């Protein structure tokens, strides 16, 4: 039996922040090669079917460069059947192409943040109730954020929403597995990880208790496979009360 957790780790996109609009717009601009300057960036074409295909691919995303590949699926009018099929399309691109995609999308994000600061931040709403839950933990050294998004972007988004989260408690994971990184940061101390990607979780981990975020960008069937999960309401209670016990439901 695990001891009471001593540190809480939170994913960002799909757990704290509903960033789908930003990811769609920034990746569309990057793929289209639109130069970002002082003029407002153009709007993506209005195509509801295209957008539905893009949104349906969101659960398969692991890193920012993946979004440019998602646009290719959407252009072709297709949606991957599962994570394996999407990962195969990434593998077909090769590391060099994917690295170029990452450079493109981060360049767009940085220019948008510089030239259209408020606009870009407005595309990154936090989930309802999250501002209050995070504000309660701003000074708690045992609540951390782990993400494949750059830490500086996360800090800026949180600041926009009135949460002055310390940059040194936001960790950019890069390609590393989150549970491996948690092991490096916390050793064998009992911890908790809340994430919306089931393949980031291990429900039998000896020291890190995993929860699937049911309100996030979960893949089809993930909720049925998860051995431990949280609704948004349950997660808000757990985050705001950490390290104490959440209030009983009801």
| 116 lies in the same domain as 149 | no
Task: Of 249, 244, 200, 238, give the one whose Cα is nearest residue 11.
Answer: 200
Mean pLDDT of the chain: 94
147-200 pLDDT, tens per residue? 989 999 999 999 999 999 999 999 999 888 999 999 999 999 999 999 999 999
pLDDT computed for residue 220 by the predictor = 84
In angstroms, rounded to a whole number, what is the distance separating the alpha carbons of residues 210 and 10? 10
| 184 lies in the same domain as 156 | yes
CA 169 to chain centre: 16
As a whole number of angstroms, the longest Cα–Cα distance in the chain is: 58
Residue 138 has pLDDT above 80, yes or no: yes
In a domain, 205, yes or no: yes
Domain count, the chain: 2
Task: Of 235, 241, 18, give the one whose Cα is nearest residue 142.
Answer: 241
| 88 lies in the same domain as 153 | no
Residue 110 has pLDDT above 60, yes or no: yes
| 94 lies in the same domain as 187 | no
Q: What is the chain's Cα-based Rg? A: 18
Task: Of 135, 131, 133, give the one whose Cα is nearest residue 237.
Answer: 133
What is the band of 249 on the pLDDT scale with cuts at 50, 70, 90? very low
| 235 lies in the same domain as 129 | yes
In a domain, 28, yes or no: yes
| 228 lies in the same domain as 137 | yes
DSSP E strand boundaries for the chain: 7-11, 143-147, 170-172, 191-195, 208-213, 229-230
The residue-averaged pLDDT of 118-143 equals: 97
Place of tokens 């704290």: 16
| 118 lies in the same domain as 39 | yes
Burial class, 247, CB count within 10 angstroms (exposed 0-12 / middle 13-18 / buried 19+): exposed
The residue-averaged pLDDT of 126-142 equals: 97
Residues with Cβ within 8 Å of 70's Cβ and at least 6 positions away in sequence, in order, are: 27, 54, 57, 58, 60, 61
- Of 122, 138, 166, which residue is a domain's last? 122
DSSP 197: -
| 91 lies in the same domain as 177 | no
Phi, psi dihedral angles at 120 (to 5 degrees): -60, -45
Among the residue ranges 13-27, 53-67, 167-181, 235-249, the one predicted with the least confidence is 235-249
Structural domain span for residue 60? 20-122
In a domain, 129, yes or no: yes
In angstroms, rounded to a whole number, what is the distance separating the alpha carbons of residues 35 and 99? 19
In a domain, 249, yes or no: no
Sign of CA pseudo-dihedral 238, 243, 248, 250: negative
In a domain, 59, yes or no: yes
The residue-averaged pLDDT of 202-228 equals: 95
pLDDT computed for residue 244 by the predictor = 66
| 157 lies in the same domain as 110 | no
Task: Of 170, 198, 205, give the one whose Cα is nearest residue 9.
Answer: 170
The residue-averaged pLDDT of 12-38 equals: 96
SS3 143: strand
| 167 lies in the same domain as 188 | yes
pLDDT computed for residue 250 by the predictor = 36
| 50 lies in the same domain as 37 | yes
- Of 90, 122, 154, which residue is a domain's last? 122
In a domain, 247, yes or no: no
Residue 245 has pLDDT above 60, yes or no: no
- Of 99, 122, 145, which residue is a domain's last? 122
In a domain, 193, yes or no: yes
In a domain, 1, yes or no: no
| 118 lies in the same domain as 131 | no
Residues with Cβ within 8 Å of 190's Cβ and at least 6 positions away in sequence, in order, are: 2, 3, 4, 5, 6, 207, 208, 209
What's the CATH number where 204 sits? 3.40.50.1000
């Amino acid at each position: 039996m695990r001891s009471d957790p001593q540190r809480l780790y939170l994913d960002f996109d799909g757990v704290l922040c509903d960033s789908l609009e930003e990811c769609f717009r920034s990746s569309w601009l990057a793929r289209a090669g639109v130069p970002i300057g002082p003029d407002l960036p153009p709007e993506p074409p209005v195509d509801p079917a295209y957008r539905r295909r893009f949104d349906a691919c969101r659960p398969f995303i692991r890193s920012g460069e993946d979004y440019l590949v998602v646009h290719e699926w959407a252009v072709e009018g297709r949606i991957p059947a599962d994570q394996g099929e999407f990962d195969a399309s990434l593998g077909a691109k090769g590391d060099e192409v994917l690295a170029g995609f990452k450079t493109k999308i981060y360049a767009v994000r940085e220019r948008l943040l510089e030239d259209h600061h408020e606009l870009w931040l407005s595309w990154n709403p936090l989930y309802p109730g999250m501002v209050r839950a995070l504000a309660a933990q701003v000074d708690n050294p045992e609540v951390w954020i782990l993400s494949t998004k750059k830490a500086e972007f996360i800090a800026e988004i949180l600041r926009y929403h009135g949460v002055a989260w310390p940059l040194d408690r936001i960790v950019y994971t890069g390609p590393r597995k989150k549970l491996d990184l948690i092991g490096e940061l916390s050793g064998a101390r009992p911890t908790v990880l809340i994430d919306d990607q089931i393949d980031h979780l291990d429900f039998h981990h000896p020291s890190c208790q995993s929860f699937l975020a049911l309100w996030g960008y979960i893949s089809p069937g993930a909720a049925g496979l998860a051995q431990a999960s949280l609704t948004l309401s349950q997660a808000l209670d757990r985050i705001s009360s950490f390290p104490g016990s959440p209030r009983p439901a009801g």
